[in-house]
Amino acid sequence: MERMNIAILGCGTVGGGVARIILDMNNELNNRANATIQLKKIVELSPKTAAKRFDIPMEYFCGNGNDLSKNEASAYITKLIADPDIDLIVETIGGKGDFVHQTCIDIVKAGKHLVTANKALLAERGSDIFNMADKKEVKIGFEAAVCGAIPIIKTIKENLTGDKILSISGIMNGTSNYILSQMQNENLEFDTALKLAQESGYAEADPTLDINGGDAGHKLILLIKLAYGIDVSMDDLSMIGIQDIKKEDIEFAKEIDAKIKLICYAKKVNGDIYATVRPMMVKNSNFLSNVNGATNAVRLNNKYSGIHILVGKGAGSSETAMSIVSDIVFIARYGKKISNTAQKQERNFADARQFVFPYIITFHTADMPGTTGFITTAIGKQNINIDTVSHNRHNDDKALFSVATMPSTLEKIESAIEEIKRERPGMLLSEPKIMPILY
């Protein structure tokens, strides 16, 4: 049997889980990989804490089990990268800073395979890491970077190679889904649901990346790279978070038989790729509307095999660690036969404002006669057909209502809103909220 010697950088929630699985399942992993997988060394600043938490023998830690300074840890990492006896390195340090970025480049440059769950790094600064890996003919495993335990990366890379992916839609951030589920099921305001998510361990003390769409955006960028062969930057990806969702939005969703979800969406249309991350009103006939709590789900619509839906936990120590170990086994077994990403394609990443969706627009206006008629007429002037108009909510001298349209571009809807502002200054008391409707 060939040997695959492993080093792990970082032994926190994920890295410790990886070490524990390798030690617990060594015989099974060796049989599945048709190779001897052996954990050699771990670099961790606080090895005693990690060893106790994950029941890992101290012999595996660099520095004889003593706590390490950052400089000492960096020196051990450099030594492991240069060690010819190490074949694959697992990066679980996290972050997208210069140190981690350069470390990953150095790993693949040294001819070693890299496995990581670091979605932010790969989405925002991954191009040169992938390019170096291809140049050195080593592999990058990143199944754990997108939706934790859900095997979406291998599904796209391996299982659907005989098909064409027409569209990707999914709930790829458990924190935002938990918050929206609580708002809809328990009739909570956003701030209350966020606090509950933090108290329950689903949201960090700083939940910014979860609620503003950034975390989901990283995952969608990686799936676009795999499915369509193009690189998309975070600056180019249209993203809106859930922080402005209110009870009234939940009520309007119920009126059209839908639920609000933070959706990652990408679609190929005549060679152009459209993509966005934003709250959508998902019709109850769509499976994604019934995915609640911190669960993730990805829906693939394919040309030949139709719709596939993958559902599971998108985070967690053992779940994410399992995906990393799966990549280790896969690399050990298939090695150079694996492709890191799809072949690059000359495709246009189109303006999301040109993509066609049915939309729902929520208007907060002065309560004046003729308001609804004027607004619907302005929308109609843009050749947008209207599906339904909600019940009007009156509060003193203010009114709140929504308009659901037939399929249109966001650009046309924005033009209608600009005309309303121009023709009736002061009619709109706040910027209208626009959400796609997903069937």
Per-residue model confidence as pLDDT tens for the chain (439 residues): 789 999 999 999 999 999 999 999 999 999 999 999 999 999 999 999 999 999 999 999 999 889 999 999 999 999 999 999 999 999 999 999 999 999 999 999 999 999 999 999 999 999 999 999 999 999 999 999 999 999 999 999 999 999 999 999 999 999 999 999 999 999 999 999 999 999 998 999 999 999 999 999 999 999 999 999 999 999 999 999 999 999 999 999 999 999 999 999 999 999 899 999 999 999 999 999 999 999 999 999 999 999 999 999 988 888 999 999 999 999 999 988 888 887 788 889 999 999 999 999 999 998 888 899 999 999 999 999 999 999 888 888 889 999 999 999 999 999 999 999 999 998 999 999 999 999 9
**Domain ranges, residue 190:** 152-313
Q: How many of the other CB atoms lie within 10 Å of CB of 313?
A: 18
What's the pLDDT at 20?
97
**Whole-number pLDDT of residue 210:** 96
- Are residue 91 and residue 158 in the same domain, yes or no? no
**pLDDT score, position 347:** 87
- CA dist 308 and 328 (Å) reads 26
Indicate if 288 and 377 belong to the same structural domain: no
**Which is it for the CA torsion 230, 233, 234, 239, positive or negative?**
negative
Quick check: is 95 in a domain? yes
> What's the distance, CA 388 to chain centroid?
32
User: Which listed residue (219, 259, 313, 412) is catalytic?
Assistant: 219
| Partner residues linked to 433 by β-bridges | 362
Do 159 and 41 sit in the same domain of this protein?
no
State the CATH number of the domain containing residue 53. Answer: 3.40.50.720
Q: Give me the DSSP letters along 115-179.
A: EE--HHHHHHH-HHHHHHHHHHT--EE-GGGTTTTS-HHHIIIIITTTS-EEEEEEE--HHHHHH
How far is residue 198's CA from residue 241's CA, in Å, rounded to a whole number?
17
On whether both 8 and 122 belong to a single domain, the answer is: yes
Check residue 221 and give its pLDDT: 97
Tokens for 180, please give them. 């929206």
The pLDDT of residue 335: 87
Whole-angstrom CA distances from 424 to 29, 413, 417, 429, 431 are 68, 16, 10, 11, 14
Q: The domain spanning residue 434 has which CATH number?
A: 3.30.70.260
pTM reported for the whole predicted model: 0.95
Residue 421 lies in a domain: yes
Residue 186 and residue 127 share a domain? no
Pair (138, 192) in one structural domain = no
Angstrom distance (rounded) from CA 239 to CA 78:
38
> What is the C-alpha to C-alpha distance for residues 404 and 387, in angstroms, rounded to an integer?
5
The total of structural domains in the chain comes to 3
Report pLDDT for 339.
Answer: 86
Whether 306 and 239 share a structural domain: yes
Quick one: 38 and 118 in the same domain? yes
The answer to the question of residue 347 being in a domain is: no
- Domain match, 54 and 88 both: yes
**What's residue 177's pLDDT?**
97
Instruction: Note if 225 is an active site residue.
Output: no
Q: Which of 174, 428, 130 is nearest to 294 (CA)?
A: 174
- Mark whether 307 and 159 lie in a shared domain: yes
Following DSSP, what letter does each residue of 334-387 receive, concatenated? Answer: HGGG--SSPPP---EE--GGGSEE-EEEEEEEE--TTHHHHHHHHHHTTT--EE
